[in-house]
Amino acid sequence: MHKISRPVNRDDSKNKSSGSAVYISDVIKPGMLAMAVKSADFQHGKINTIKKPELPEGYFYVDGKSFTGMNRASIVAQDWPFFAESEVLYFGQPVCAYTGPRIEVCEKLCIQTKIEYTPLPAVSVIEDAADFFNDYTIIKGNPDKSFKEAAQIFENQYRTGMQEQAYMEPQGMIAEFNEGKLTVYGSMQCPYYIKNSLKNAFNLDDDNVRVIQSITGGAFGGKEDYPSILAGQAAAAAIVSGKPVKIVLDRRNDMSVTPKRHPSLIKIRTAVDSEGNITAMDIDCRIDAGAYESLSGVVLERAIFISTGAYNIADVKVRGRTMKTNHIPSGAFRGFGGPQALFAADMNMYYLARKLNAAPLELKRRYLFQRGDISVTSGIFRDDIKLEEMISRVEEISDYSSKWAEYEKTSQAGDKMKGIGISFAAHGGAFTGNGEQEIIKSLVRLEWEPDKQTSAGGRLRILVSNVEMGQGASITLRKIVAEESGLPLEAIIFTNPDTDIVPDSGPTVASRTIMIVGKLIQDAAAMLKQKIEDDINSPSSVEKSYVHPPEFDWDEETFTGDAYPAYSWAVNVIEVEIDPITFEIKITGSWAVYDVGTPIDIKILEGQMQGGTAQSLGYSSIEKMQMINGKPAQVSFTDYTIPTTLDFPDTECVFIDNPYRYGPFGAKAAGELPNEGPAAAFTAAISQASGRMITEIPVTPEMLEEQLR
Amino acid sequence: MNKLIKISFLLDGRMFSVETKSDRRLLDILREDAGITGVREGCGEGECGACSIFFNGRLANSCCIPAIAAEGAEIDTIDGFSKTEEYSIISQAFADAGAVQCGFCTPGFIMASAALLRENPRPTDNEIKIGLSGNLCRCTGYTMIIEAVRLASGRMARNV
Ligand code: FES
Ligand code: FES
């Protein structure tokens, strides 16, 4: 393994441990006002009247008309309004807001605001939805022919639930407007998304909007989209009042109004020839987008591009749609469409194994992607895929096959029902499709500041718009620059992005920070090193912008070609026990082998994998989030339980070595990978233990009871 | 009901007095009036432990304590605790184990770890899990936090 993988203690653990780290809720600005948003208590209706109470002195009213540009946030699609206009499309939709010195008064004004609606028909679930925002079809090979010639056709359907990101720090934003310049501070993943959104919302030019990230207490995708809404609301209030305005959501509020992972319903028809080979799949993938499109189109792309999972199926037809329903717009969540598609794809292979009387691993490994194979979008897997090596490693640590054989004999008998499952996952690194080369066009800058007082002779500053949100971007980016420049780690400085200072290197999403931005700063560091060696005592800087390697080809019109430059891989094994009386589920073992190219820091990576696996196992079992008639039924940690120390065993992680040509020191995507595979491994284990084909997550004791009684 | 009251208590070893509305939570007094923002609000309902303090020496969620209840109490927060030797050992163990990611839960976990180790200096893994089960962390999956407590326990034993 490369020496850069050796762990280094994080630079931010001191401040965070002692409580001196400043999150947005801790910030106070002179004269700062509070703000409360009036949310619709109606699922779908035309707004007839808004009866406002009289405003006390020093309080201000804000709504959709407060935006001098457009009352729409720019989150990929520009359709989600900061405040509802003539119509409310979902329960909890912001309608208007009050700002003023005291939060209790603002909240009271919201309660006193009475809105009358004319009801309109509401759609609450995917099945009932007729309308969609996006409808994409991809064809690989000749699926019609394979289905026509099939000896057998199997059909099944898979369902995944909604999931709350549950970052520990609730969302918050502060906006101020001084002499024509709008400045916003807050907890976020994508400073330039917010900047662009604010420019459009208030018709401000580039110089007059500034966005500064504050220390961000977890995000997991949840701070990719909604911060743009919150920033717009706070900015409107700051402009109207002329004072700094702070909005921090309490937990109930946060869970009531922010986007969650898209529920999905995926139907798969599979053609099998007379020799028992899988020849084709016809996949219908619907994800529940909620009331506005927002970024759902891109989530759908990621889902359908990986819709056969880690398996090479010769002929594929996949149709994907983002269904329009009347609930909170669904949003970004670690994995971004991948977990839903991979759950369906992997469970479908499990289903086929059962139908074809094969051991699941035996069937699955016959179809695993290999170098040179063609993806669903007819791209080429150009790099070595080491899944066979990964299977050997996972067998060593988990003893999967012998346990599987044992539980196959005994699962139905005895006082505990036991099962073990294995899944395979692929995650395409970087932005989907033409995102990196056509839309983001990442730009990074490194600056050298000479300082004779320091042993290195100065400081090297990393200027990028990617954020540290807990995942370790700060330490890993610094390690890359230190390794390349030969400077000591202490001389490399990374600070929270401020759009007045850093160039736009793109959003902190899609596991692109190390793979794409890390590579750019590595290349920039090599150039800057030269300049420093030439003249250590003068300030110097280097900028570097993204160039898509010419070997990758992509057609955005037809979705054909290499949807991602490189894939990361995971093999997960999960072992479970079900109590035959209470149907209580206990996860008794969790093992995983990963190919993330070169790990930039083994401890950071282990932390990502352990945390991501826990999130995914929560998604599979205990995290149940329902929208009842469009209203979130779980809006606190009392009702929505996320994993505690007592819920899951430790995940034993192994990383194999498989450096990626275009990654910094060989690194590729990592952060989302642990959220891709565990759900299917878990559900396969439950299926074995219960002797039932389980096709839906979360799997709860109530659901098992229904199946088994 | 919501009248002004005056309360005084020992805060991180010093007398602290404040006049406040009676319906406020101790968490608000600590964060807003005493400016101790290291006591975090993750849920406001006693579920996450981010607001953990020592209340008369016992671990407690400050979001669940009405301000009035603090009258005459002895309250220690992460702010005062972070100046102790005990803290240095625990926080160093958190850093070495990789137990800190976004850090929002960390002060709460450090307080909970200290409470556990005071009561049980050599906890088993299972005892650690039970001891920390009132605190939520969404980033780490807990493995490294548990490792940190194991480390701290070992280092404290060597320190005596
Ligand atoms: S904020 Fe007190 S327990 Fe969560
Ligand atoms: S480190 Fe982020 S919640 Fe624990």
Q: Which pTM does this prediction carry? A: 0.97
Are B140 and A646 an interchain contact pair (Cβ–Cβ within 8 Å)?
no
Give me ligand 2 centre to Cα B102, in Å.
5
Q: Give the number of the atom of ligand 2 that is nearest the alpha carbon of residue A217.
A: 2
Residue A413 is predicted with a pLDDT of 59
Out of B31, B77, B100, name the one closest to residue A16 (CB). Answer: B100
Tell me what the mean pLDDT of segment A89-106 comes to: 98
| A232 vs A226: CA distance, rounded Å | 10
Contact A114, A621 (CB under 8 A): no
Closest of A99, A102, A116 to residue A47, by C-alpha: A116
Domain limits, CATH 3.90.1170.50, in chain A: 29-121+167-219+223-257
Residue A708 is predicted with a pLDDT of 87
Beta bridge partners of A159: A265, A696
Closest of B98, B159, B18, B107 to residue A599, by C-alpha: B98
A436-523 carries CATH number 3.30.365.10? yes
Sheet of strand A60-63, all strands in order from the earlier edge strand to the far edge: A60-63, A94-100, A33-39, A245-248, A172-178, A181-186, A209-213
Q: Give the number of the atom of ligand 2 that is nearest the alpha carbon of residue B100.
A: 1
- pLDDT tens profile A502-543: 999 999 999 999 999 999 999 999 999 999 999 999 999 999
Tell me what the mean pLDDT of segment A377-382 comes to: 97
Residue B159 is predicted with a pLDDT of 73
Start-to-end CA span in chain B (Å):
51
- pLDDT tens profile A236-253: 999 999 999 999 999 999
Torsions phi, psi for B19 (to 5 deg): -100, 125
Out of A20, A167, A636, name the one closest to residue B138 (CB). Answer: A167
B4-11/B14-21 β-pairing: antiparallel
- DSSP structure class, residue A202: H
User: A29-121+167-219+223-257: which CATH number, 3.30.2130.10, 3.10.20.440, 3.40.50.300, 3.90.1170.50?
Assistant: 3.90.1170.50
- pLDDT tens profile A441-497: 999 999 999 999 999 999 999 999 999 999 999 999 999 999 999 999 999 999 999
Which residue from B minimizes the CA distance to A255? B43
Residue A709 is predicted with a pLDDT of 81
Domain limits, CATH 3.30.365.10, in chain A: 264-432+561-708, 436-523
| Closest ligand relative to B135 C-alpha | 1
Are B91 and A648 an interchain contact pair (Cβ–Cβ within 8 Å)?
no
Residues in chain A within 8 Å Cβ distance of B84? none
> How many beta carbons lie within 10 A of that of residue A171, not counting itself?
27
Are A472 and B41 an interchain contact pair (Cβ–Cβ within 8 Å)?
no
Per DSSP, the three-state class of B48 is: coil
pLDDT exceeds 60 at position A411: no
B4-79 carries CATH number 1.10.357.10? no
pLDDT exceeds 90 at position A218: yes
* Domain range annotation of chain B: 4-79, 84-159
- pLDDT tens profile A382-405: 999 999 999 999 999 999 999 999
In which band, very low, low, confident or very high, does the pLDDT at A640 lie, cut at 50, 70 and 90? Answer: very high
Q: Which amino acid is at A142?
A: N
Q: Which strand (E) or helix (H) includes residue B126?
A: helix B125-131
Q: Which amino acid is at A402?
A: S
- DSSP structure class, residue A516: I
Which residue ranges of chain B lie beneath pLDDT 50? none
User: A264-432+561-708: which CATH number, 3.30.365.10, 3.30.70.1450, 3.40.50.720, 3.40.50.620?
Assistant: 3.30.365.10
Residue B108 is predicted with a pLDDT of 98
Contact B24, B90 (CB under 8 A): no
| Closest ligand relative to B64 C-alpha | 1
The percent of residues in chain A predicted with pLDDT above 90, rounded, is: 98
In which band, very low, low, confident or very high, does the pLDDT at A337 lie, cut at 50, 70 and 90? Answer: very high
> For A232, how many CA atoms within 13 A lie in the half-sphere containing its CB?
33
Contact A304, A433 (CB under 8 A): no
> How many beta carbons lie within 10 A of that of residue A702, not counting itself?
10
Contacts of residues A399-404 at CB distance under 8 Å and 24 or more positions apart, as own/partner, are A400/A361, A400/A573, A400/A591, A401/A359, A401/A361, A403/A575, A404/A359, A404/A360, A404/A361, A404/A688
What is the predicted ipTM?
0.98
Second-level CATH architecture of B84-159: Orthogonal Bundle (1.10)
Which two three-digit tokens encode residue A65? Answer: 């008309």
Q: Give the number of the atom of ligand 2 that is nearest the alpha carbon of residue A168.
A: 3
Contact B89, B156 (CB under 8 A): yes
pLDDT exceeds 80 at position A198: yes
A288 CB-near residues (< 8 Å, 6+ apart): A125, A126, A129, A162, A262, A263, A264, A265, A323, A325, A327, A330
Q: Which strand (E) or helix (H) includes residue A48?
A: strand A45-51
